Amino acid sequence: MQIPEDAVLLRIFIGESDRHRRQPLYEAIVLGFGKSSHLHTAKILRLSMDLPIVIEIVDSEEKVNAFLPVLDEIMGGGLVTLERAKVIRYQDQEKR
């Protein structure tokens, strides 16, 4: 059994059409949080062009708190929530 670690869940609610300097806001947020960020998207036919987006980031309290001023600068509108979380990490046996 892995031991849970203390962490913070940062949840950001925005719209798909929200922008930061002509870039989609969701990309600016995800790529701005860490250089090892991975952005997974699927372009599908849909009825709405401004879907709601929820971005969830789980990390140490220190890293999340350090990111909040950056988020404050790029957010035009939206909602942000913070929650305490317990994280249990599992790794593939071969990668250990």
Domains and CATH numbers, the chain: 5-39+51-91 (3.30.70.120)
pTM of the model: 0.79
Residue 88 one-letter amino acid: I
Please write the tens of the pLDDT for every residue from 47-83.
667 889 999 999 999 999 999 999 999 998 899 999 9
Determine the pLDDT at residue 44: 56
Instruction: Residue 68: name the closest of 7, 25, 10, 28 by CA.
Output: 10
Please write the tens of the pLDDT for every residue from 9-19.
999 999 999 99
Other beta carbons within 10 angstroms of residue 84's beta carbon come to 9
